[in-house]
Amino acid sequence: MPPAPPGPELVQRFRRDLAVVASGQGRIGIALSGGPDSLALLLLAVAAFPGDVAAATVDHRLRPESAAEAAAAAAACHRLGVPHQILAVTLPRGGSVQARARAARYAALTSWATAEGIAMLLTGHHADDQAETLMMRLLRGSGVAGLAGIRPHIALSESLMLCRPLLGWRRAELAAIVAAAGLQPVADPSNSDERFDRARMRRQLADTAWIDPVALARSAAALAEADDALEILAHDLAAERLATGDGWAQLRPDGVPPALLRRLVARGLRHVAPDAAPRGDQLGSLIEQLRTGATVTLAGVLCSGGESWRFQPEPPRRG
Protein backbone atom coordinates (compact mmCIF):
# COMPACT_ATOMS: atom_id res chain seq x y z
CA MET A 1 0.00 0.00 0.00
CA PRO A 2 1.50 3.38 -1.01
CA PRO A 3 2.10 6.02 1.67
CA ALA A 4 -0.65 8.59 2.28
CA PRO A 5 -0.08 11.70 0.14
CA PRO A 6 0.17 15.21 1.62
CA GLY A 7 -3.02 17.27 1.77
CA PRO A 8 -4.03 19.30 -1.30
CA GLU A 9 -3.22 22.65 0.35
CA LEU A 10 0.33 21.48 1.03
CA VAL A 11 0.72 20.21 -2.53
CA GLN A 12 -0.51 23.52 -3.94
CA ARG A 13 1.88 25.43 -1.70
CA PHE A 14 4.73 23.25 -2.93
CA ARG A 15 3.81 23.88 -6.56
CA ARG A 16 3.87 27.64 -5.94
CA ASP A 17 7.21 27.51 -4.12
CA LEU A 18 8.81 25.37 -6.81
CA ALA A 19 7.60 27.77 -9.51
CA VAL A 20 9.40 30.61 -7.70
CA VAL A 21 12.81 28.89 -7.69
CA ALA A 22 12.64 26.84 -10.90
CA SER A 23 12.28 27.96 -14.48
CA GLY A 24 11.03 25.68 -17.21
CA GLN A 25 9.69 22.18 -17.01
CA GLY A 26 10.99 18.65 -17.29
CA ARG A 27 11.77 15.62 -15.18
CA ILE A 28 12.40 16.28 -11.50
CA GLY A 29 15.22 14.62 -9.59
CA ILE A 30 15.14 14.30 -5.81
CA ALA A 31 18.33 14.11 -3.74
CA LEU A 32 17.00 11.60 -1.23
CA SER A 33 18.98 10.98 1.95
CA GLY A 34 16.13 9.11 3.61
CA GLY A 35 15.87 11.71 6.37
CA PRO A 36 12.58 13.49 7.14
CA ASP A 37 13.35 16.58 5.05
CA SER A 38 14.12 14.77 1.81
CA LEU A 39 11.31 12.25 2.36
CA ALA A 40 8.83 15.12 2.74
CA LEU A 41 10.25 16.65 -0.44
CA LEU A 42 9.76 13.34 -2.24
CA LEU A 43 6.16 13.02 -1.05
CA LEU A 44 5.31 16.58 -2.10
CA ALA A 45 6.96 16.24 -5.51
CA VAL A 46 5.25 12.93 -6.30
CA ALA A 47 1.85 14.35 -5.31
CA ALA A 48 2.41 17.54 -7.30
CA PHE A 49 3.99 16.01 -10.42
CA PRO A 50 3.08 12.31 -10.62
CA GLY A 51 5.11 10.36 -13.16
CA ASP A 52 7.76 13.08 -13.53
CA VAL A 53 9.89 12.30 -10.49
CA ALA A 54 13.02 10.18 -10.00
CA ALA A 55 15.27 9.96 -6.96
CA ALA A 56 18.84 9.08 -6.06
CA THR A 57 20.54 8.39 -2.75
CA VAL A 58 24.26 8.98 -2.28
CA ASP A 59 25.99 6.43 -0.07
CA HIS A 60 29.16 8.10 1.22
CA ARG A 61 30.17 4.81 2.91
CA LEU A 62 31.37 6.70 5.98
CA ARG A 63 29.32 4.69 8.48
CA PRO A 64 28.45 0.96 8.65
CA GLU A 65 24.74 1.85 8.59
CA SER A 66 24.88 3.86 5.37
CA ALA A 67 24.14 0.94 3.01
CA ALA A 68 21.02 -0.02 5.00
CA GLU A 69 19.89 3.62 5.06
CA ALA A 70 20.26 3.89 1.28
CA ALA A 71 18.28 0.65 0.93
CA ALA A 72 15.52 2.12 3.13
CA ALA A 73 15.34 5.17 0.86
CA ALA A 74 15.08 2.87 -2.15
CA ALA A 75 12.24 0.97 -0.45
CA ALA A 76 10.32 4.19 0.15
CA CYS A 77 10.65 5.07 -3.54
CA HIS A 78 9.47 1.59 -4.51
CA ARG A 79 6.31 2.07 -2.44
CA LEU A 80 5.68 5.36 -4.24
CA GLY A 81 6.47 3.96 -7.69
CA VAL A 82 9.42 6.32 -8.13
CA PRO A 83 12.55 5.22 -10.03
CA HIS A 84 15.50 5.23 -7.65
CA GLN A 85 19.24 4.71 -7.83
CA ILE A 86 21.88 4.34 -5.11
CA LEU A 87 25.09 6.23 -5.90
CA ALA A 88 28.08 4.91 -3.91
CA VAL A 89 30.99 7.34 -3.70
CA THR A 90 34.53 7.26 -2.36
CA LEU A 91 35.75 10.42 -0.70
CA PRO A 92 39.19 11.75 -1.64
CA ARG A 93 41.69 12.49 1.07
CA GLY A 94 41.80 16.05 2.31
CA GLY A 95 40.44 18.43 4.91
CA SER A 96 36.90 18.67 6.23
CA VAL A 97 34.99 15.40 5.94
CA GLN A 98 31.72 17.28 5.47
CA ALA A 99 33.15 19.47 2.70
CA ARG A 100 34.57 16.46 0.86
CA ALA A 101 31.31 14.55 1.26
CA ARG A 102 29.33 17.49 -0.11
CA ALA A 103 31.58 17.82 -3.18
CA ALA A 104 31.41 14.08 -3.88
CA ARG A 105 27.64 14.04 -3.36
CA TYR A 106 26.89 16.83 -5.82
CA ALA A 107 29.30 15.42 -8.40
CA ALA A 108 27.54 12.04 -8.23
CA LEU A 109 24.06 13.59 -8.33
CA THR A 110 24.99 15.79 -11.30
CA SER A 111 26.26 12.80 -13.27
CA TRP A 112 23.14 10.78 -12.42
CA ALA A 113 20.72 13.59 -13.29
CA THR A 114 22.48 14.31 -16.59
CA ALA A 115 22.39 10.66 -17.60
CA GLU A 116 18.68 10.45 -16.68
CA GLY A 117 17.72 13.58 -18.64
CA ILE A 118 16.60 15.40 -15.49
CA ALA A 119 16.11 19.16 -15.81
CA MET A 120 16.07 20.13 -12.13
CA LEU A 121 17.53 18.51 -9.03
CA LEU A 122 15.70 19.29 -5.79
CA THR A 123 17.10 19.16 -2.27
CA GLY A 124 15.20 19.36 1.02
CA HIS A 125 16.93 22.41 2.54
CA HIS A 126 14.40 24.34 4.62
CA ALA A 127 14.00 27.49 6.73
CA ASP A 128 15.72 26.00 9.79
CA ASP A 129 18.73 25.03 7.65
CA GLN A 130 18.84 28.57 6.29
CA ALA A 131 18.68 30.07 9.78
CA GLU A 132 21.53 27.84 10.96
CA THR A 133 23.63 28.82 7.95
CA LEU A 134 23.01 32.54 8.41
CA MET A 135 23.88 32.44 12.13
CA MET A 136 27.03 30.41 11.52
CA ARG A 137 28.22 32.87 8.88
CA LEU A 138 27.38 35.88 11.04
CA LEU A 139 29.64 34.44 13.73
CA ARG A 140 32.42 34.01 11.14
CA GLY A 141 32.14 37.65 10.05
CA SER A 142 30.99 36.81 6.51
CA GLY A 143 30.16 39.50 3.98
CA VAL A 144 27.05 39.91 1.86
CA ALA A 145 27.73 36.88 -0.33
CA GLY A 146 28.17 34.58 2.66
CA LEU A 147 25.18 35.98 4.51
CA ALA A 148 23.01 35.28 1.49
CA GLY A 149 23.07 31.72 2.85
CA ILE A 150 21.68 28.76 0.96
CA ARG A 151 20.70 29.92 -2.51
CA PRO A 152 17.24 28.92 -3.79
CA HIS A 153 18.69 27.86 -7.14
CA ILE A 154 22.10 27.48 -8.77
CA ALA A 155 23.29 25.99 -12.04
CA LEU A 156 25.13 22.68 -11.64
CA SER A 157 25.75 22.41 -15.36
CA GLU A 158 24.48 23.91 -18.61
CA SER A 159 21.49 21.57 -18.55
CA LEU A 160 20.85 21.06 -14.82
CA MET A 161 19.55 23.42 -12.13
CA LEU A 162 19.76 22.74 -8.41
CA CYS A 163 16.54 24.04 -6.81
CA ARG A 164 15.51 24.33 -3.16
CA PRO A 165 11.76 24.91 -2.98
CA LEU A 166 11.43 24.29 0.78
CA LEU A 167 13.39 27.28 2.12
CA GLY A 168 10.13 28.75 3.42
CA TRP A 169 9.09 25.53 5.21
CA ARG A 170 9.91 24.60 8.80
CA ARG A 171 11.61 21.36 9.82
CA ALA A 172 8.60 20.41 11.99
CA GLU A 173 6.18 20.85 9.06
CA LEU A 174 8.19 18.46 6.94
CA ALA A 175 8.48 15.90 9.72
CA ALA A 176 4.68 16.02 10.12
CA ILE A 177 4.19 15.26 6.41
CA VAL A 178 6.41 12.18 6.71
CA ALA A 179 4.67 11.00 9.89
CA ALA A 180 1.24 11.41 8.30
CA ALA A 181 2.39 9.32 5.34
CA GLY A 182 3.41 6.50 7.67
CA LEU A 183 7.05 6.52 6.57
CA GLN A 184 9.97 5.96 8.95
CA PRO A 185 12.86 8.35 8.18
CA VAL A 186 16.46 7.45 8.87
CA ALA A 187 18.35 9.38 11.55
CA ASP A 188 21.82 10.66 10.62
CA PRO A 189 23.82 10.80 13.88
CA SER A 190 25.97 13.64 12.52
CA ASN A 191 22.93 15.91 12.75
CA SER A 192 23.23 15.84 16.54
CA ASP A 193 26.99 15.38 16.81
CA GLU A 194 28.23 18.60 18.39
CA ARG A 195 31.72 18.11 17.05
CA PHE A 196 30.22 19.77 13.96
CA ASP A 197 29.43 23.50 13.93
CA ARG A 198 25.98 23.02 12.42
CA ALA A 199 24.86 20.57 15.08
CA ARG A 200 25.93 23.00 17.81
CA MET A 201 24.09 25.86 16.12
CA ARG A 202 21.00 23.67 15.67
CA ARG A 203 20.86 23.01 19.39
CA GLN A 204 21.39 26.68 20.25
CA LEU A 205 18.55 27.78 17.95
CA ALA A 206 16.26 25.07 19.33
CA ASP A 207 16.95 26.37 22.85
CA THR A 208 16.31 30.03 21.90
CA ALA A 209 12.57 30.39 21.39
CA TRP A 210 12.61 34.10 20.52
CA ILE A 211 14.67 33.55 17.34
CA ASP A 212 12.36 33.01 14.36
CA PRO A 213 14.03 30.84 11.67
CA VAL A 214 11.52 31.96 9.04
CA ALA A 215 12.41 35.61 9.67
CA LEU A 216 16.11 34.74 9.43
CA ALA A 217 15.41 32.95 6.15
CA ARG A 218 13.71 36.09 4.83
CA SER A 219 16.77 38.13 5.80
CA ALA A 220 19.01 35.68 3.94
CA ALA A 221 16.79 36.03 0.87
CA ALA A 222 17.06 39.84 1.06
CA LEU A 223 20.83 39.58 1.34
CA ALA A 224 20.87 37.26 -1.66
CA GLU A 225 19.07 39.94 -3.67
CA ALA A 226 21.66 42.51 -2.53
CA ASP A 227 24.47 40.14 -3.48
CA ASP A 228 22.99 39.68 -6.95
CA ALA A 229 22.75 43.46 -7.38
CA LEU A 230 26.38 43.92 -6.32
CA GLU A 231 27.44 41.21 -8.75
CA ILE A 232 25.73 43.04 -11.63
CA LEU A 233 27.50 46.27 -10.65
CA ALA A 234 30.84 44.46 -10.39
CA HIS A 235 30.35 42.91 -13.82
CA ASP A 236 29.76 46.34 -15.37
CA LEU A 237 32.64 47.93 -13.46
CA ALA A 238 35.04 45.16 -14.46
CA ALA A 239 34.64 46.19 -18.11
CA GLU A 240 36.00 49.61 -17.16
CA ARG A 241 38.55 48.81 -14.45
CA LEU A 242 39.81 45.25 -14.98
CA ALA A 243 42.04 44.55 -17.98
CA THR A 244 42.84 40.91 -18.75
CA GLY A 245 45.12 39.01 -21.04
CA ASP A 246 46.64 35.57 -21.47
CA GLY A 247 47.55 34.63 -17.89
CA TRP A 248 47.35 38.10 -16.36
CA ALA A 249 44.89 40.68 -15.06
CA GLN A 250 45.36 44.32 -14.07
CA LEU A 251 43.01 46.38 -11.91
CA ARG A 252 42.68 50.13 -11.30
CA PRO A 253 41.38 50.26 -7.71
CA ASP A 254 41.16 54.02 -7.11
CA GLY A 255 37.74 55.16 -5.92
CA VAL A 256 36.11 51.72 -6.05
CA PRO A 257 33.88 51.04 -2.98
CA PRO A 258 35.17 48.17 -0.81
CA ALA A 259 32.21 45.85 -1.50
CA LEU A 260 32.85 46.10 -5.24
CA LEU A 261 36.63 46.13 -4.93
CA ARG A 262 36.61 42.71 -3.26
CA ARG A 263 34.61 41.34 -6.18
CA LEU A 264 36.95 42.83 -8.77
CA VAL A 265 39.99 41.42 -6.98
CA ALA A 266 38.31 38.00 -6.85
CA ARG A 267 37.65 38.24 -10.59
CA GLY A 268 41.29 39.06 -11.21
CA LEU A 269 42.41 36.07 -9.15
CA ARG A 270 39.99 33.72 -10.91
CA HIS A 271 41.10 34.93 -14.35
CA VAL A 272 44.64 33.82 -13.54
CA ALA A 273 43.70 30.77 -11.42
CA PRO A 274 40.15 29.60 -12.25
CA ASP A 275 39.98 27.41 -9.14
CA ALA A 276 40.85 30.25 -6.78
CA ALA A 277 38.22 30.59 -4.07
CA PRO A 278 39.63 32.91 -1.40
CA ARG A 279 37.63 33.50 1.78
CA GLY A 280 36.42 36.98 2.65
CA ASP A 281 39.10 37.52 5.29
CA GLN A 282 41.80 36.46 2.81
CA LEU A 283 40.53 38.98 0.25
CA GLY A 284 40.42 41.71 2.89
CA SER A 285 44.01 41.02 3.97
CA LEU A 286 45.17 40.91 0.34
CA ILE A 287 43.56 44.27 -0.44
CA GLU A 288 45.15 45.89 2.62
CA GLN A 289 48.57 44.72 1.48
CA LEU A 290 48.06 45.74 -2.14
CA ARG A 291 47.08 49.24 -0.98
CA THR A 292 50.58 49.58 0.54
CA GLY A 293 52.22 48.54 -2.72
CA ALA A 294 53.24 45.11 -1.46
CA THR A 295 53.65 41.99 -3.57
CA VAL A 296 52.06 38.85 -2.12
CA THR A 297 50.80 35.48 -3.31
CA LEU A 298 47.35 34.01 -2.83
CA ALA A 299 45.81 30.88 -4.35
CA GLY A 300 48.77 30.43 -6.68
CA VAL A 301 48.57 34.02 -7.96
CA LEU A 302 51.31 36.64 -7.64
CA CYS A 303 49.59 39.91 -6.72
CA SER A 304 51.45 43.22 -7.03
CA GLY A 305 50.17 46.48 -5.51
CA GLY A 306 50.67 50.12 -6.39
CA GLU A 307 48.57 52.55 -8.40
CA SER A 308 47.30 49.57 -10.38
CA TRP A 309 47.21 46.00 -9.15
CA ARG A 310 48.55 43.18 -11.28
CA PHE A 311 47.72 39.48 -11.02
CA GLN A 312 49.79 36.78 -12.69
CA PRO A 313 50.77 33.15 -12.03
CA GLU A 314 53.01 32.55 -9.07
CA PRO A 315 56.49 31.67 -10.37
CA PRO A 316 57.59 28.06 -9.84
CA ARG A 317 59.40 27.46 -6.60
CA ARG A 318 63.06 26.58 -6.70
CA GLY A 319 63.94 23.04 -5.79
Neighbours of 10 (CB within 10 A): 20
Residue 244 has, within 13 A of its CA and on its CB side, a CA count of: 15
Collect all residues with Cβ–Cβ distance below 8 Å to 120 and sequence separation of at least 6.
22, 24, 26, 28, 29, 160, 161, 162, 163
34 annotated binding-site participant: yes
35 is in an annotated binding site: yes
Task: Give the N- to C-terminal CA distance of the chain in Å, as an integer.
Answer: 68
User: How far, in Å, CA of 268 to CA of 227, rounded?
Assistant: 19
* Sequence-distant contacts of 203-212: CB under 8 A, at least 24 apart: 204/135, 205/128, 205/131, 205/132, 205/135, 211/131
C-alpha closest to that of 70 among 43, 88, 82, 83: 88
Number of Cα atoms under 13 Å in the Cβ half of residue 4 = 12
Residue 295 host element (H or E):
strand 295-298
38 annotated to bind ligand: yes
Is the Cβ–Cβ distance between 272 and 311 less than 8 Å? yes
With 0-12 / 13-18 / 19 or more C-beta atoms within 10 angstroms meaning exposed / middle / buried, residue 280 is: middle
What whole-number distance in Å separates Cα of residue 36 and Cα of residue 18? 19
Contacts of residue 70, defined as CB under 8 A and 6 or more positions apart, other chains included, come to 34, 57, 58, 59, 86
Q: Is 5 annotated as a binding residue?
A: no
Binding-site residues for ATP sit at 33-38
Binding-site residues sit at 33-38
